[in-house]
Structure 1
Amino acid sequence: MSDAAILCVDDEVTILKCLKEQLKRCFGNRYIYEVAQNAEEAWIVIDELISEEIKILIIVSDWLMPGIKGDEFLTQVHQRFPKIVTVMLTGQADEAAIERARREANLYACLHKPWTEAELQQVISTALD
């Protein structure tokens, strides 16, 4: 079993299912693929992975979610875990939010909905190199 994980955070179950399926097709069993429907759930998953000594490589987070926006969540992640690569997924993030995430969360990339599997694979592959 892998000791490295990719976490996807989105309030839409269909998006999470799609991301997980695409990641599995692209990278097979190399990684553990975790999902969370909001930032609160994501923190629980992050704490569980860390307690199991599983390294979180990348977090792909939606921007528009109830409770906390993706750029704020990724900034909090970056403050606690600066080595985790952050990727934002959005259908409607404004440029200011993307720029803020670049500055404050060390945002690696921003994928726009609808994305293609090739775009997802390229972003994740280059982030891991």
Structure 2
Amino acid sequence: MDKKKAILCVDDEAIILHALVHELKSSFGDEFIYEKATDAISAFDIIDDLSKEGVKLILIISDWLMPGIRGDEFLETVAKTHPDVKAIMITGQADEEAMKKVRGNSAVYAVLRKPWNSEELRSIVRFCCTGDRHE
């Protein structure tokens, strides 16, 4: 039997988390478990819980600018212990220099600006989760 697969969304703005999870559920239905965290510390706890429950975390979608730990630092830390988990960074704050650095981070597959383009988000998530470039 296949392991259940999860997508973790991390953003300090509850409305963004709600919109992101709603969009993912609308696009992918029950194909994945959708988890939410409002900061990196909570996200680390969720990652540990998923692992203990035997759920395979396959994708993290994280905001860049969050209190405590920035998204890029969070994703770099996750990549050290979970190198097979793909990541997408979303941001409305970062300047171009910061985005170049994030794009150079091997833990980050794609960077999207807020507000994201729904079709682009779906396509990138589909590719990260299945390797399929077509919807």
**TM (normalized to structure 2)?**
0.89
Match of 2:116 in 1: 115
Report the 3-state secondary structure (helix = DSSP H, G, I; strand = E; otherwise coil) of the residue aligned with 2:109.
strand
Of the structure 1 ranges 10-19 and 92-101, higher mean CA displacement relative to structure 2 is found in 92-101
Q: Are 1:11 and 1:38, in contact at CA under 8 Å, matched by a contact in 2?
A: yes
Q: Deviations over 1:65-100 (max 9, x none)?
A: 001111110110111111000110000113333333
**TM (normalized to structure 1)?**
0.93
Q: Are 2:103 and 2:111, in contact at CA under 8 Å, matched by a contact in 1?
A: no
Q: Distance in 2 between matches of 1:101 and 1:81?
A: 18
The answer on 1:65 being equivalent to 2:69 is no
The answer on 1:86 being equivalent to 2:87 is yes
Aligned counterparts, 1:1-129, within 5 A: 3-128=4-129, 129=131
Q: Distance in 1 between matches of 2:87 and 2:98?
A: 14
Amino acid at match of 2:19: C
Amino acid at match of 1:23: L
Q: Distance in 2 between matches of 1:50 and 1:16?
A: 22
Report the 3-state secondary structure (helix = DSSP H, G, I; strand = E; otherwise coil) of the residue aligned with 1:123.
helix
Q: Distance in 2 between matches of 1:10 and 1:51?
A: 23
How many residue pairs match? The answer is 129
Q: Distance in 1 between matches of 2:86 and 2:100?
A: 16
User: 1:105: Cα distance to partner?
Assistant: 4.2
Identity of aligned residues (%): 46
